Structure 1
Amino acid sequence: MTGLSPSSPRPSWECSKSSDGGVPAFVIAGFAAHLATAHGHHHHHDNDGIGFGPTAVELARALTAMRLGDPHRAVTAHRQATGGDAWHQLPAEHRAAHLIDITRAHLDLGDPRAAGRALVTADRIAPAETRTRPAAHTALTAVLRAGPTAADVARLAAVVGLTRQ
């Protein structure tokens, strides 16, 4: 969605304002994308561990879309962000946290298998994120409740102390 003019049509989630009538999400995302592109040669090689760059901006867009009720856009942005080499340059905890967060979008789309794969992948990347984060436990519980699960998801549930409820 970078490079849009102010008059370009935007998905509804991008036009959403904060509850206080603040800046639309597309303006903030566009500004972040501009900064990430302008400083792209520095992305993911920072010393402060934030991993800011085009990939991090796309991950933020995915999370924003999910939170604003557009799981299709969330999964599309997720796939775009995770499909390149820059994804692997982000800190492990950042990648795992994103995978845990995107689980909700997969579930909202009726795809508990993709949600389970995201959690198992997050656990492989940064086990502490998956095993100690309350959001991960909530997501895993939702996957378990969604129906039959793959063996690796069931193993993860057993490791974190969850059982099918």
Structure 2
Amino acid sequence: MAASITAVRQLTPPPSHKPAPDDLALAGTLLVEAALSAATCRDATAARDLADHAARLAGTHDTHPDRDSGDIAFGSTVVDLARALIAASFGDNHQAITIHQYATSSDAWGRLPAEHRAAHLIDITRAYLDLGNPRTAGQALVTADRIAPAETRIRPTARTALTAVLRTGTTTADVTRLATTIGLTRP
């Protein structure tokens, strides 16, 4: 968190200068990472403040006239996805799912890198599980596997989430197939 904030200070130009879109994207990405780190450290105020700062940069970045239209690694949707994970980390799973559903219904969601989308789906499964919705948690994992199989098959978080879904005993054929594919169950 401290390293990200320090780097953002170096990238942020004085108010009198118009920042370049790449600088906005980099600073915003660092702020998102710092906000997620603050949530991991259980600092709700810092997580919220950093996400708010990232959102302001995303608003500027999204509408910047010099922005490359193919530049989708940072923007409002990325900040919303981070806000969903932050809400989940503080146990506000209803809010997390609401934000997640909003962000994933945007056009920008489909333009994010496949690995980013899959990683988010894996991470949001905890909120679904905590709300007692293992079916949707399992479907999120199956969707993540379709988007970027390596994310689902290699990440320990995905294996843990899939194991939790399997333990509920309410799995679909797709979830069972995924579990077999990654070696959590026998064929």
Q: 1:99 aligns with which of 88, 113, 121?
A: 121
Of residues 127, 131, 152 in structure 1, which corresponds to 2:153? Answer: 131
| Contact map agreement 1:100 1:139 (CA 8 A) in 2 | yes
Separation in 2, partners of 1:58, 1:138: 24
* Alignment RMSD (CA, Å): 2.3
Question: Could you say if the C-alpha distance between residues 85 and 109 of structure 1 is closer, same or farther in structure 2, counting changes exceeding 3 Å?
Answer: same
The 5-angstrom pairing of residues 35-50 of structure 1 reads 35-41=57-63, 42=67, 45-46=70-71
> Runs (4+) of structure 1 moved beyond 6 Å?
none
2:52 is the alignment partner of 1:30? yes
Aligned position for 1:74: 96
Given residue 149 of structure 2, which amino acid in structure 1 is its aligned partner? Answer: P
Between the two proteins, the alignment pairs up a number of residues equal to 146
CA-to-aligned-CA distance 1:80-128 (integer Å, 9 cap, x gap): 1100110011000000000000000000000000100100000000001
Specify whether residues 21 and 118 from structure 1 end up closer, same or farther in structure 2 by C-alpha distance, changes over 3 A only.
Answer: closer
In the superposition, relative to structure 1, how do residues 103 and 18 fare at CA in structure 2: closer, same or farther (>3 Å)? Answer: closer
Structure 1 unaligned segments of length 5 or more: list them. 1-15
Please say which structure displays the higher CA radius of gyration.
2
One-letter amino acid matched to 2:154: T
- Deviation for aligned residue 1:25: 2.3
Query: Identity of counterpart residues, as a percentage?
Result: 62
Matched letter for residue 107 of structure 1: L
Higher helix share: 2
Q: Secondary structure at the match of 1:51?
A: coil
Which amino acid in the other structure matches residue 63 of structure 1? L
